[in-house]
Every structure is written in C-alpha cells, then in structure tokens.
Amino acid sequence: MSKRKIVLFGGTFDPIHLGHTAVAADAAEQIGAEKIVWVPAKRSPLKGFMPKAGDDDRLKMMGLAIGGQKNFELSDYELRRPAPSYTLETVRWFQTKYGGDVLIHWLLGADSVEDLSLWHEINALIDECTLCTMYRAGCKKPDFTAFEAVWGHQRVNKLQQNIIRTPLIDISSTEVRKRLAAGADVGKMLHPAVIEYIRRRGLYRSEEESGYV
C-alpha cells in the first residue's frame, strides 16, 4: 500500500499572500497530498532579521487567508518554540505525530535553491523528508545538479525528481510590505480579509517599523 502524503509549508509569511496560497495548493495537488499544514516560522535562521509583524498577527492573517479551505491546516508548532526554527526538527516532530505510514513533503520556493546548502543538517533533511522545490516568478528554473559534489548523486537526484512546475505568480511579501508602506494598492496580492486585518491593526505602515514582540 502506498503511503499517505502530507505537505508542510513553512515560511515567515510576513504577510501571507496570494502567491503562497496558489502555489501551495497547486503543488499539493501535483504531489497527491491529503493536506497542507502551514507552519509559520518565528524567524528564519538565514534571513537574520525579525519579521515586521508579530507572531500573533502573522498567525491571525494566515488563519484569515487559509481558513475555511478544506485540506489546509495551520500549525503554531514553530511559533511556540524558541527561535530560530530548524526545518529538520519540525519535520521530525510532524513525522512522529503522523507516524510511519505518512511521507512528509516540505515545500520550498526556487529562491531557496541557492542557500539550501547552508541549512541546518541539510543532508539529514534531504534524506528524511521529500523536499519539493516549486518554480517562482523572477527566479531561475530550480536545478540542483551543481550540488552533486556536496550532497552526492543520490540526494541531488531526489531533489531533481521533486521539482514541481507550479504557476509563476509574481508576488513576494517584500513587495507587499513596500507597497503597504507607500500606501499603494495590494488588492491583487492579498486575501481581502488580510487587507482588512492589516488596515485595522495598522501593520506595515513603514518599512523600518518592526511589530515583532
């Protein structure tokens, strides 16, 4: 019997945008996963700066953007742990939770290809879950062949086989934050309930301000 598949989608989601929801849904369908668990991070070990919006605001915006969509689930697992979050620890925790008949898939955008070799215990991560790399607008087509000398043929082969041709949606949280700080329109980038939440809470009014607590 083939194993059940569950997708984990981690990131800062500062804020969650329509690119996130569109590509994740498309990837999960291509993978044949039964659900996507969204895992907001406290802080990216590689980004080196704090999210602009606090944990609670980011979690609430995610709830508004993905709530009501069947097969989408929100987890505060990484937010409850001390920063920074390491993906391998998260994957292991969910693997224990779901048990051995579930194959954990972890979604990455193509912009992560370049820094993947810097991730904590990357060899173990490649081995212990299925890292699925999605296409991303403005990024090169994902390709790991240059990393064969570092990770070996088998690992690179596994990464290559799990590249997913997702739709190119040219949205980033950075661009959203810039537009919000400039008072520009973000109507095509965010879920309407997220826009309303940001307005009500006065988030992202300036590019420097950090609401992080």
Tell me which residues touch ligand ATP (CB under 6 A). Answer: 11-14, 19-20, 23, 108-109, 111-112, 134, 136-137, 169, 171-174
Q: Report d(CA 171, CA 188) in Å as an integer.
A: 9
Give min distance, CB of 99 to ligand ATP, in A. 26
Pick between residue 112 and residue 130 the one whose CB is nearest to ligand ATP.
Answer: 112
Phi, psi of 163, deg, nearest 5: -80, 135
Pick between residue 132 and residue 156 the one whose CB is nearest to ligand ATP.
Answer: 132
Pick between residue 152 and residue 167 the one whose CB is nearest to ligand ATP.
Answer: 167
Q: Report d(CA 28, CA 206) in Å as an integer.
A: 35
CA distances from 2 to 89, 102, 113 (A): 25, 9, 29
3-state secondary structure of 77: coil
Give min distance, CB of 12 to ligand ATP, in A. 4
Token reading at 179: 């537009």
Q: Are 31 and 191 in contact (CB under 8 A)?
A: no
Token reading at 149: 């000398």
Pick between residue 59 and residue 169 the one whose CB is nearest to ligand ATP.
Answer: 169
Q: Distance from first CA to last CA of the chain, Å, rounded?
A: 46
Give min distance, CB of 132 to ligand ATP, in A. 10
Give min distance, CB of 196 to ligand ATP, in A. 20
Pick between residue 90 and residue 112 the one whose CB is nearest to ligand ATP.
Answer: 112
Give min distance, CB of 129 to ligand ATP, in A. 14
Amino acid at 69: Q
Q: Report d(CA 30, CA 27) in Å as an integer.
A: 5
Token reading at 181: 């700080």
Give min distance, CB of 134 to ligand ATP, in A. 5
Pick between residue 1 and residue 118 the one whose CB is nearest to ligand ATP.
Answer: 118
